[in-house]
Amino acid sequence: MSHDTSEKIVRMANQIATFFLSQPEAVRAEGVANHINKFWEPRMRRQFFEHIDKGGEGLLPLVIEASKAVKRPVAA
């Protein structure tokens, strides 16, 4: 995955997390995961997990927490 793609995925995931930070703590991670599962196509989720698997640099802690509930797509 290119550096630009990785930066875009990080930026988008962090924007989602930033929105959910305004929600009650109990629903934040679930909200982020549900949003990614519902609106990100498998290719984007694959890129997301490639970044997470490399350490997740730049991702907010809420994104890392939410990643546990994001559906990992089948390998391409």
Mean pLDDT of 14-38: 97
| Model pLDDT, residue 1 | 61
Mean pLDDT, the chain, rounded, equals 94
Handedness of CA 53, 59, 63, 64 (dihedral sign): positive
CB 23 within 8 A of CB 31: yes
What does pTM read for this prediction?
Answer: 0.91
| Model pLDDT, residue 75 | 73
Question: Which of 74, 72, 70 lies closest to 34 in space, CA to CA?
Answer: 70
| Model pLDDT, residue 3 | 76
| Model pLDDT, residue 4 | 84
